[in-house]
Amino acid sequence: MLTVHHLGVSQSERIVWLCEELELDYAFKRYDRRADNRLAPDAYKALHPMGIAPVITDGDLVLGESGAICDYITGRYGKGRLVPGADDADFADHLFWFHWSNGTFMTTLMMQLVQTFAGTPDIPFVADRAERGWAMVEKRLGEAPFFGGRNLTTADIMMVYCLTTSRAFRGTKLDAFPNTVAYLKRIGERPAYQRAMAKAEPGMAPLLT
User: What is the pLDDT, as a whole number, of residue 113?
Assistant: 83
- CATH classification code of 91-190: 1.20.1050.10
Q: What's the predicted TM-score (pTM) here?
A: 0.95
Residue 55 has what DSSP assignment? E
One of 3.40.30.10, 3.40.50.170, 3.30.1360.120, 3.10.105.10 is the CATH number of 2-82+194-200, namely: 3.40.30.10
Is residue 183 within 8 Å of residue 160, measured between CB atoms?
no
2-51 residue pLDDT tens: 999 999 999 999 999 999 999 999 999 999 998 887 889 999 999 999 99
User: What is the pLDDT, as a whole number, of residue 39?
Assistant: 84
Residue 77 has pLDDT above 90, yes or no: yes
At residue 176 the predicted structure's pLDDT band, cuts being 50, 70 and 90, is very high
Q: Express as a percent the part of the chain with pLDDT over 70.
A: 100
User: What is the pLDDT, as a whole number, of residue 98?
Assistant: 98
| Average pLDDT rounded to a whole number, residues 167-194 | 94
Residue 209 has pLDDT above 80, yes or no: yes
Distance CA 16, CA 196 (A): 6
Residue 185 has pLDDT above 90, yes or no: yes
Instruction: Show the DSSP H helices in the chain as ranges.
Output: 13-21, 42-45, 66-77, 91-100, 106-118, 124-143, 154-163, 178-188, 191-200
Distance CA 72, CA 74 (A): 6
126-167 residue pLDDT tens: 899 999 999 999 999 999 999 999 999 999 999 999 999 999
Paired residues of 170 in beta bridges: none
Distance CA 94, CA 92 (A): 5
Q: Which residues are within 8 A (CB) of 49 and not within 5 positions of it... i.e. 6 or more apart?
A: none
- Average pLDDT of the residues of the chain: 95
> Which sequence spans correspond to the domains of the chain?
2-82+194-200, 91-190
User: What is the pLDDT, as a whole number, of residue 207?
Assistant: 94
Lowest mean pLDDT among 34-38, 117-121, 196-200: 117-121
SS3 169: helix
SS3 42: helix
